[in-house]
Structures are given as structure tokens and as C-alpha cells.
Amino acid sequence: MAKSKEKLQALRLRRKGESIKKIAKLVKVSVSTASLWCHDVELTDSQIENLRKRQTDPFYGKKLDYYLKKKKEFNFKLLNIRNEGINSIGELTNREIFLIGIALYWGEGFKKDSLLGLATLDKNIAKFFIFWLKKSFNITTKDLLLRVTANISYKNKIKELEKYWSRKLRIPVNQFSKPFFQNTKWKKEYENKDNYHGVLRIRVRRSINLLRKIFGYIEGISSNITKL
């Protein structure tokens, strides 16, 4: 009995290693019909392995469309949550800026030093810390001492690191003291080495009394927490 054009097409596709579901869609018959037509076609080991991989591959056929759709929905959700957080903060009052700075110093500031200071590799934390000093205590740029700490492998690039911090904080390079190098070899390779700018240490000249006052502010916050 002559075979239909559709059945012949289904057999050709199956011999090429196509899945029954895809054959049914291309030939426009039911999955059960396509399965019946192709029942006697033996697939090679590589074709079987390829079909197995397709079943679990999120980037195959409609799975890719579904994955991209869900990813877009997820990213949109994250963006909305992020924007909700940004908008809920609004404009900070002077007191809020003051308290945020105290909390920052409580966590990251120098405690065992005769000078008020902080070390960070985050440019935004450095910017806020300097802004807080100026806003809350009338510290001027000239009152600041800066120093870059970097791994010894960046010794030849130290001038570039200092220029980076100078540019980001708008503080002249001549206010940077002699850099400090960590004489240890990294045990693993880090990606995006060009994004490494060392650790910036920011100190305030003649600030022992201000440091003691800040310790008092920290203790004041701490005592309030114990009452909660």
C-alpha cells in the first residue's frame, strides 16, 4: 500500500533524528500518529543522545521563548522592587545623614587609632564618608589624609590607582601619603583586574577629640538599642 506524503515526510525527519513531537508539529498530525508511523525507525546512539539533551535544554525550541519570557518578568520584578526601595528613601535630612554616618563608622571606622578614619574599596562609601565629615563636623578637604593600599602586583600601577581615587573624590593627589603594599601573592586569579583600585584609607588630621566624640555617639546609639 502506498504511503502518504505526510508519512514519508515523517519518516525522513525521524531518520534525521527529529523528535516525535516536532515531527507531529511539522507534518501536522497527532503525536500518536507520528509515533505509529515512525515506530520502526531505529535511531543512532548519537541521535538518541541528542534527543535526550534537548529534553533538558532550556534553550531549545519553545523552552527558550518560555525561559526568556520568565527572565524578562523576573528582571522587571527586580527593577520594580529596586525602584520601590529608592523611592521609599527620598531625600535625607541632616539628622538622618548624621546617624547614617555614625552607623557607618561604628561598622567600618578605625577604632584603635589616634586619628578618625575609615578604609574602603567602595568609591560610594568613600564619597559618603567625606560628605558626612563635611556636613556634620565642618571638616574640609585640606583636613584629610589619604593613602592607597594595594597588592604588591600593582606596584607599577600605583599612580593610576591614586589618580582614580583623586578623580572620583575630587581631592588632589598631593594629599595622598606614601602608598602601602601588601606583599602577598593572590592564590587565585581574579576576573576584571582592571576594576581593582586598591583600598583607600581616609584619615582626618588632628581629630583625636572628634574621634572620642564619635565613640560617644556610637555608645548613645548602642544604649538605645539595649532598651528595645
Task: Give domain 94-185+193-226's CATH number out of 3.30.1330, 3.30.160, 1.20.950, 1.10.3470.
Answer: 3.30.1330
Quick one: pLDDT at residue 2? 45
CA 47 to mean position of chain CA atoms: 40
Find the mean pLDDT for residues 22-47: 90
Quick one: pLDDT at residue 32? 92
Per-residue pLDDT reduced to its tens digit, 171-210: 999 999 999 998 876 655 555 666 789 999 999 999 999 9
Per-residue pLDDT reduced to its tens digit, 127-148: 999 999 999 999 999 999 999 9
Domain ranges of the chain: 1-56, 59-90, 94-185+193-226
pLDDT band at residue 47 using 50, 70 and 90 as cut-offs: confident
pTM here is: 0.67
For residues 96 and 67, the model is more confident at 96
Quick one: pLDDT at residue 3? 61
Quick one: pLDDT at residue 1? 42
The half-sphere exposure of 208 on its side-chain side, counting CA atoms within 13 A, is 3
